[in-house]
Chain A
Amino acid sequence: MILRDHAIRYGFIILLVGLIAYFAIAAGGFVSPQSAVFIFQSVAITGVLALGVTATLVVGGFDLSIGSVATSAMMAAAYVMVVLEQNAVVAVIACLAIGVIVGLINGWLIVYMRVPDLLATLGMMFLLVGLQRIPTEGRSIATGMTMPDGSVANGTFSAAFLALGRHRFDFFIPNLIPVSVVVLLVLAVLIWFFLEYTRFGRMMYAVGSNERAAELAGAPVKAYKIWAYVISGVFASIGGILLAARLGRGDIASGNNLLLDAVAAALIGYAVLGAAKPNAFGTAVGAVFVGVLLQGLTMMNAPYYTQDFIKGVVLVVALVFTFALSGRGKR
């Protein structure tokens, strides 16, 4: 039984280490600072979204709208700078405002309108996917585009905003670490500390485990739930800012995979260290795990179209780890 306990606890970490070791031998150039940075960069945006959705999972909810919040924020950033010709600060504020507002609406729908979480956020997802196309009548946003009224949008993405996607910090090697990776790491530490070490995070876990008991222990349960959706919305909008800065335009077709990848990372996180519950550290490891796997396979010339299949396999295995092997099976 001890062996089994250890297998559950460290199984996923061991798997990750084993995977890295395997790729290090099998794929040349896998172990290098550039490769590591590339892995982090490839999962930065989904990772940020996954950390946000972790907060809603902690209170026993779910947020399906994160992907569309991110793309809405991306379109909003482009619209603010290209069409309204505002600077980077205004664009960032507009994005964050979208995250807060969507989070509040989600929370309100779920807490006060009693719409089940999956359905409320599914509805919000549809609403946002549609909404982000209305201002430009379904066109992508880029400098020089023709607006519906025939005028030409002359604004540009400001250099400061683009730097969020393109600047790289020196770290032993010049121009190594992109801003998005720094943002991911900072947010991961922040949400991890918040959930594990503050009384607010602890109470969010209590709400997720037994809402009635949390209420009878004096917690404002409704407020905690709404806050969880606001956190999720804000994190998703930060993801959207990073996406806009990376692309340099408001691309209507981008960000399709964000939701599924982020949810997968958060759910894989259940299995890390045998937590069997949503946790920020696990989510980060889950995101990196997917990144390592895809990077390694790509370097070994696995075709791109197998990627989603592999992610799915990892997710299913992780869920079996969580629910069957750990024997807790409750969220």
Chain B
Amino acid sequence: MGNDAVFRVDGLRKSFGHIEVLGGVSLDLHAGEVTVLMGANGAGKSTLVKIVSGVYERDGGTMSLAGQDFAHQDFAPKTPAEAIRAGVVTVHQNINDGVIADLDVATNLTLDRLSGSGAPTLFNPGRVRREAKAVADRMGLAIDLKARISDLSLADRQMVAIARAMAHQPKVLILDEPTSSLSSAEADRLFALLDRLRGHGVAILYISHRMSDIRRLADRIVSMRDGVISGVFDRKPLDYEGAVNAMLGRKIHLDRIVARNSARPVLTIDGLRIAEGSRPISLMLGDGEVVAITGLVGVGKTALAETLFGVRKPLSGTMTLNGKPYAPGSTGEAIAAGVFLVAKDRAENGIVGDFNIQENISLPFHKRMSRLGVLKRRVERVTARRQIQELGIVCRSEKDEMSALSGGNQQKVMVARWMSQAAKLFILDEPFQGVDISARRDIAAKLRASANGRATLLFVTELDEALETADRILVMSEQTIVGEHRNADIDLERLLAEVAGGPLHSAA
């Protein structure tokens, strides 16, 4: 790029405890350019954003911001307010962090002038409205200034949050996954706004997983992996597949798996549609098979898992389980039919904090472990002990509190819970999230060793996890399945191209 960088990050380092999250990140942002930052969960994107926006302090490295005369000045914000004053504004992922729902649009747009030194003591509605109007006009924002934020759509809230950020006339605007909860029409409005800002010469750092956003907006793509920049792509046409490859990458595998084939179908899905306007999904899962569905965040993996488990209903299509029609109306029905789900984000969706290990393991199977409604505690205890042994959960006893366990062991308890009874279809959504490498190996080995007699379906974002555990890998993009690979002599180029999506690929 010919023009000078407005904002420059050089050799940025950050560790939490022993864990190094950023291992020397260098990054340039240029005026009037949208730089897209891609990275899987845990790559260090959020940490980077938080250092730049003044939430965290860096451990090492430098940051500098170009002044009026393009001479760089050191940039080291100690608080978010300081970062904003210096001209670096961040719109965080959670829209509601950027706006106050109970106040009207005008007040929200001028919120930052209500506090701090020099702010007037008395609240003057007329002045607030005048200032808000000026901000809205500059941004081309067509929203009723008297409307309450809580009455607005998510997209409008997002617009207000960005407009509020822009009221500071920043040099650098950072957007952290701004479209993750927007519909595509809403996202289009956001993009139009960003185009306008780009025209005004703002340097934009745009963090996203959505390939369609990236194709629409990116002037440059920067991929991040394991706390370092793993690729910078700025030659037109942009190499999207290269960027995905750099983000997901592929490390060296110690243990390759031997892919198995399956004869007997367990689950058949026919014409299943999980989102409005998405293409139908059809697939078959066989007995003894471990199948991984991979794809970027937000392509519908969790939606599909929840549809199979009866949490949500498909828009259309049918499912067959062991030859019988399967259409669960609730999680209870799914469990009764032998379909189990290890949900992602165990703290939110899995662990019952007040229960010990034993009680957490028995949770879904109370009915099978009780007589006339009275729980058989002996059966519960024996089951828990067996599962602790089977999965190698490190604990003092089955009576330990969950909070006493490490992340990997907590996840093992979640897997142990659902492996304590025989499943017909065993679904795991991001089972390796926040799990150390050895626990991950243990769980994967256990899944493969016990796979006979059921179909096993994994949803993973990290390609490595799929390659290490699955016999077959399916690729998901835009709420549907776009590719299928047998995990032997895999064509990684094609797989990555499918993950990166794009209009040329046809559905499997």
Q: Which residues from chain A sit less than 8 Å from chain B, CB to CB?
A: 197-200, 202-203, 205-206, 208-210, 212-220, 277, 330
CB-nearest residue of chain A relative to B334?
A218
Instruction: Flag whether B69 is at the interface (Cβ < 8 A).
Output: no
Enumerate B354-381 residues with CB–CB distance to A below 8 Å: 354-355, 359, 363-364, 366-367, 369-370, 373-375
Among B335, B352, B370: residue with most chain A CB under 10 A:
B352
CB-nearest residue of chain A relative to B401?
A328
CB-nearest residue of chain A relative to B414?
A213
A199's partner among B309, B341, B354, B366 (CB-CB below 8 A) is B366
Chain A interface, >50% SS class: helix
Q: How far is the CB of A209 from chain B (nearest CB, A)?
A: 4
Chain A residues, CB < 8 A from B332: 218-220
A198 to B366, CA, bound (A): 9
CB-nearest residue of chain A relative to B368?
A199
Contact between A218 and B331, CB atoms less than 8 A apart: yes
Q: Could you list some 21 contacts between A and B, CB below 8 A?
A: A197-B374, A197-B375, A198-B373, A198-B374, A198-B375, A199-B367, A199-B373, A202-B366, A203-B366, A205-B354, A213-B352, A214-B363, A215-B311, A216-B311, A216-B350, A217-B335, A217-B363, A218-B330, A218-B332, A219-B332, A220-B330
Chain B residues, CB < 8 A from A330: 353-354
Contact between B343 and A216, CB atoms less than 8 A apart: yes
Chain A residues, CB < 8 A from B331: 215-219
The 4 closest A-B pairs by CB, nearest first: A199-B366, A209-B354, A217-B364, A218-B332
Contact between B364 and A218, CB atoms less than 8 A apart: yes
Q: How far is the CB of A215 from chain B (nearest CB, A)?
A: 6
Contact between B366 and A213, CB atoms less than 8 A apart: no
A218 to B349, CA, bound (A): 12
Q: How far is the CB of A271 from chain B (nearest CB, A)?
A: 16
Per-position binary interface string of chain B over residues 324-343, scored 1 when its CB falls under 8 Å from any chain A CB and 0 otherwise: 00000011101110000101
CB-nearest residue of chain A relative to B364?
A217
A212 to B54, CA, bound (A): 34
A218 to B334, CA, bound (A): 8
A202 in contact with B373 given A209-B352, A212-B349, A216-B311 (CB within 8 Å): no
Chain B residues, CB < 8 A from A212: 348-349
Instruction: Flag whether B351 is at the interface (Cβ < 8 A).
Output: yes
Contact between A206 and B375, CB atoms less than 8 A apart: no
Chain B residues, CB < 8 A from A197: 374-375
A161 to B150, CA, bound (A): 54
A294 to B343, CA, bound (A): 51
CB-nearest residue of chain B relative to A196?
B375
Contact between A209 and B355, CB atoms less than 8 A apart: yes
Q: How far is the CB of B402 from chain A (nearest CB, A)?
A: 10
Chain B residues, CB < 8 A from A215: 311, 331
A220 to B366, CA, bound (A): 13
A205 in contact with B366 given A198-B375, A200-B373, A220-B332 (CB within 8 Å): no
Chain B residues, CB < 8 A from A218: 330-332, 334-336, 364
A206 to B349, CA, bound (A): 12
CB-nearest residue of chain A relative to B372?
A198
A277 to B417, CA, bound (A): 24
A200 to B373, CA, bound (A): 7
Chain A residues, CB < 8 A from B359: 202
Contact between A277 and B349, CB atoms less than 8 A apart: no
Chain A residues, CB < 8 A from B330: 218, 220
B363's partner among A198, A200, A208, A213 (CB-CB below 8 A) is A213
Chain B residues, CB < 8 A from A202: 359, 366, 375
Enumerate B285-323 residues with CB–CB distance to A below 8 Å: 309, 311
Q: 20 new A-B pairs (CB below 8 Å) besides A197-B374, A199-B369?
A: A198-B374, A199-B367, A199-B373, A203-B366, A206-B355, A206-B363, A209-B353, A209-B354, A210-B352, A212-B349, A213-B350, A215-B331, A216-B311, A216-B331, A216-B341, A216-B343, A217-B417, A218-B331, A218-B334, A330-B354
Q: How far is the CB of A9 from chain B (nearest CB, A)?
A: 15
A277 in contact with B373 given A199-B367, A216-B343, A216-B349 (CB within 8 Å): no
Q: How far is the CB of A327 from chain B (nearest CB, A)?
A: 10
Contact between A208 and B354, CB atoms less than 8 A apart: yes
A216 to B370, CA, bound (A): 20
A208 to B367, CA, bound (A): 19
Q: How far is the CB of B267 from chain A (nearest CB, A)?
A: 19
Chain A residues, CB < 8 A from B370: 198-199
Chain A residues, CB < 8 A from B373: 198-200
CB-nearest residue of chain A relative to B341?
A216
A210's partner among B351, B366, B417 (CB-CB below 8 A) is B351
Q: How far is the CB of B428 from chain A (nearest CB, A)?
A: 13
CB-nearest residue of chain A relative to B350?
A213
Q: How far is the CB of A205 from chain B (nearest CB, A)?
A: 6
Chain B residues, CB < 8 A from A199: 366-367, 369-370, 373-375
A210 to B350, CA, bound (A): 8
Chain B residues, CB < 8 A from A208: 354
Q: How far is the CB of B310 from chain A (nearest CB, A)?
A: 9
A197 to B380, CA, bound (A): 12
A213 in contact with B335 given A199-B366, A202-B366, A205-B354 (CB within 8 Å): no
A206 to B375, CA, bound (A): 14
Enumerate B130-183 residues with CB–CB distance to A below 8 Å: none
Among A199, A202, A212, A217: residue with most chain B CB under 10 A:
A217
Chain A residues, CB < 8 A from B417: 217
Chain A residues, CB < 8 A from B335: 217-218
Chain B residues, CB < 8 A from A220: 330, 332
Q: How far is the CB of A55 from chain B (nearest CB, A)?
A: 16
A208 to B355, CA, bound (A): 11
Chain B residues, CB < 8 A from A209: 352-355
A199 to B348, CA, bound (A): 22
A200 to B364, CA, bound (A): 12
A202 to B356, CA, bound (A): 12
Q: How far is the CB of B344 from chain A (nearest CB, A)?
A: 10
A217 to B374, CA, bound (A): 18
Chain A residues, CB < 8 A from B349: 212-213, 216
CB-nearest residue of chain B relative to A276?
B354
Chain A residues, CB < 8 A from B363: 206, 213-214, 217
Contact between B355 and A205, CB atoms less than 8 A apart: yes
A226 to B433, CA, bound (A): 35
Per-position binary interface string of chain B over residues 395-420, scored 1 when its CB falls under 8 Å from any chain A CB and 0 otherwise: 00000000000000000000001000
Q: How far is the CB of B330 from chain A (nearest CB, A)?
A: 7
Chain A residues, CB < 8 A from B311: 215-216
A205 to B355, CA, bound (A): 9
Contact between B353 and A210, CB atoms less than 8 A apart: yes
Q: How far is the CB of B340 from chain A (nearest CB, A)?
A: 9
Q: How far is the CB of B196 from chain A (nearest CB, A)?
A: 39
A209 to B351, CA, bound (A): 9
CB-nearest residue of chain A relative to B347?
A210
CB-nearest residue of chain B relative to A330?
B353
CB-nearest residue of chain A relative to B371?
A199
A330 to B402, CA, bound (A): 14
Q: How far is the CB of A136 from chain B (nearest CB, A)?
A: 42
A206 to B367, CA, bound (A): 15
A73 to B351, CA, bound (A): 40
A208 to B366, CA, bound (A): 17
Among A197, A199, A330: residue with most chain B CB under 10 A:
A199
